[in-house]
Amino acid sequence: MDEQQQQQQEMKVKNSWHRPQIIVVTALIAVGIIIMVAIAVVQHKPLNQKYKYGIVLDAGSSHTSVYIYEWPAEKENNTGMVQQKHSCNVKGKGISSYSGTPHKAGESLKECMDEAKKTIPKHRHQETPVYLGATAGMRLLKMDDNTASEKVLKSVATSLQSYPFSYEGARIISGQEEGAFGWITVNYLSDNFRKASGTVGALDLGGASTQITFVSRQELESPDNSIDFRLYGNDYHLYTHSFLCYGKDQVLKLSLEKQIEPKLDMTDNIILEDPCFHPGYIVNKSFQSVFDSPCVKKINSFLGQQSFIHKGLGDWNKCHEAIKKVFNTTYCRYSRCSFNDIFQPPVEGRFGAFSAYFFVMNFLNLTTFNLEEAKKNLETYCTTSWDTLKQKHPKVKEKYLAEYCFSGTYIITLLEDGYRFTNETWENIDFIKKIGDSEAGWTLGYMLNLTNMIPAEAPDTPLLPYGGYVMLMLILSLLIFVFFILGYIFFRRPSGPTHKEII
């Protein structure tokens, strides 16, 4: 009887798996485990970072560059975290050179804008803003021929509107804007807006203009030289000025004009002995090549077709004196000026010098020397014969190679005699091309400022906040534990008659 009872009891235990209570509890446990695993997988999946894009075209006096920027869709302190993703240099000269054939200005942008279409994800095209900012070359064209400048801008606008991006305008930006946005770029890339150490000043040198911008602790006597920005929750009050016609290409014309002008009445061929060009340099040039700019005086068309002999002397000290003549320092209506009656407080703090500042000083290998050493090394360089120089740099275009002595001397003269940097403050100048992967210049600052007007997009976030996720997983774990206990109880409970009932 005992053996029979044992067998029956074992059968009852085995049959317990088929009881409805056990099936329900097992199903609940399985569902609970599945839910926990699913929530954990979704909660910890990698978040896809959403990016937005913007395109800024820098239409300078000598060339046009297209910059593509990207930034996270969510913004930090109302300013997007912008980084340079891609850049493209448009082939040919700047858009201002197409004043006679304005339709070609728009056509010149095609190759780089086609690259932009490929670089930016297609689903972002329609929301990607495109801005073209024209600088000093177009400022000069507007001064000289307003109708021609409008036709050029219309041409580039038509070209940009043909792309699937959000066209936001093509305009000539002011010199003050150019300087201020360059300042934003340098400080943004250096992460100075989030540091307690303060900001650095910006020195920008192009072909047709030059800008200086910095935060000054002194009262700014000229409202025209003051501009305010709010970035990352902080207000910045800047001194800035842009000198039109004082880019390295235009100031060369100014210098040549001052040397040629006393000789214009001469009937014989004019030989211009230029201390800023290398000994052995002899080139025939037309007067038109010097007097074709609003920065210099107009001459009659007949004289414009005539030529002069441009002969190099390679005398740095005389070159320095000749360049100083393009600065008017005889009159200042303020407590202090830089030159040409323009107010400027004393330079203070560190400065980043970029664009032509870097390219010229880097070529001359003068970026790491103090002021006196830079002068001595440049003096030696300028005395180098033209033939020796061409042999040493066979891949550099002769036009550019010939002008480095002048450009280097102009940079030193501008900084020392124009902006009043001294031997001591020269040490605070850093000549820079890039900071990180982004180029120094006004375009990134321009884009950074414009992102304040672009609506932020909600970022991807985890399914639950961390605290809620932990609490939910704890509750589910407790429920599953309870179901296990219930299952065990139901499993062990006999399903048939009890031992007493059998007896």
Which residues are known binding-site members for ATP? Answer: 207-211
DSSP string, 130-158: EEEEE-HHHHHHHHH-HHHHHHHHHHHHH
Half-sphere exposure (Cβ direction) of 498: Cα atoms closer than 13 Å: 3
Angle of helix 146-161 versus helix 136-144 axis, rounded to 10:
130
List, in sequence order, every residue forming a beta bridge with 159; answer none if it has no partner: none
CA-to-CA dists, residue 393 to 243, 364, 390, 483, angstroms = 32, 12, 5, 84
CA-to-CA dists, residue 279 to 155, 215, 234, 323, angstroms = 44, 43, 53, 18
CA-to-CA dists, residue 108 to 97, 174, 376, angstroms = 11, 23, 42
Residue 136 burial by CB count (10 A; 0-12/13-18/19+): exposed, middle or buried? buried
What is d(CA 201, CA 181) in angstroms, rounded to the nearest whole number?
11
Q: How is residue 490 written in tokens?
A: 């139901």
How many helices (H) and strands (E) would you count in the chain?
17, 16
**Tell me, what amino acid is at 63?**
H
Among residues 70, 178, 257, 439, the one annotated as catalytic is 178
What is d(CA 444, CA 437) in angstroms, rounded to the nearest whole number?
12
What is d(CA 357, CA 364) in angstroms, rounded to the nearest whole number?
11
Active site (annotated) includes residue 178: yes
What is d(CA 346, CA 362) in angstroms, rounded to the nearest whole number?
26
Q: Does residue 434 sit in helix, strand or coil?
A: strand
**Residue list for the binding site:** 207-211
* R_g (Cα) of the chain, nearest Å: 36
What is d(CA 375, CA 361) in angstroms, rounded to the nearest whole number?
12
Cβ atoms within 10 Å of 183's Cβ, excluding its own: 31
Give the strand pairing for 307-312 and 270-274: parallel
**Active site positions, annotated:** 178
